[in-house]
């Protein structure tokens, strides 16, 4: 391999994008760590994911190398911002041929539960490290997770609740 080639540059560089850039943090997290942690949480709650689910989890934020990591709270407060970010992400994926795989029904809710749980864990760790800016993030994410869990099938709901609320999570 010559030094001027960039094999799989899109996959490599998407993982280097910083998250949580709009609030003070003690420890930096990038997209690669976030995706790995979402995979870990998914696996602990629901078992080892099939290959397409694992691919989706590991690549779900690739477009953030162009759009940046638009914060959860901002997307919730400004639906038009969320819609524009989603559209920009779809456009980026289409232009770069990095489409996410189609998944079976219910799988996206499982992934979102794991994603929110990982975000909660990161905010919790920030709070434990002395960063009080993590407290409102934890509260917002906990409320969103509680709402999302109601849409899950009973077995999945129990698994998420067991993982989140019986392991000293907060």
Domain boundaries, the chain: 9-165
Per-residue CA distances from 42 to 2, 39, 63, 77, 79 (Å): 38, 5, 21, 27, 27
Q: pLDDT-based confidence at 22, cuts 50/70/90?
A: low
Is residue 137 a contact partner of residue 123, using CB atoms and an 8 Å limit?
A: yes
Q: What's the mean per-residue pLDDT of the chain?
A: 86
Among the ranges given (23-27, 107-111, 134-138), the one the predictor scored with the smallest mean pLDDT: 23-27
Give the pLDDT of residue 11. 65
CATH class of the structural domain 9-165:
mainly alpha
Q: At what angle do helices 31-46 and 107-128 cross, to 10 degrees?
A: 120
Work out the angle at residue 104's Cα, subtended by the Cα atoms of residues 115 and 88, and round it to the nearest 5 degrees: 55
């Amino acid at each position: 391999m010559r030094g001027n080639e960039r094999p799989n540059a899109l996959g490599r560089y998407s993982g280097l994008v910083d998250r949580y850039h709009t609030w003070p943090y003690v420890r930096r997290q990038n997209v690669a760590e976030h995706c790995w942690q979402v995979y870990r949480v998914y696996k602990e709650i629901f078992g080892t994911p099939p290959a397409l689910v694992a691919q989706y989890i590991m690549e779900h934020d690739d477009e953030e190398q162009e759009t940046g990591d638009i914060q959860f709270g901002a997307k919730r407060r400004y639906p038009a911002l969320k819609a524009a970010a989603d559209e920009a992400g779809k456009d980026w994926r289409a232009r770069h041929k990095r489409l996410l795989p189609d998944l079976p029904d219910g799988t996206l809710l499982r992934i979102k539960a794991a994603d929110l749980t990982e975000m909660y864990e990161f905010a919790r760790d920030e709070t434990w490290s002395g960063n009080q800016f993590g407290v409102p993030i934890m509260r917002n994410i906990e409320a969103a997770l509680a709402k999302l869990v109601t849409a899950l099938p009973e077995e999945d709901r129990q698994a998420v609740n067991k993982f989140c609320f019986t392991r000293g999570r907060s």
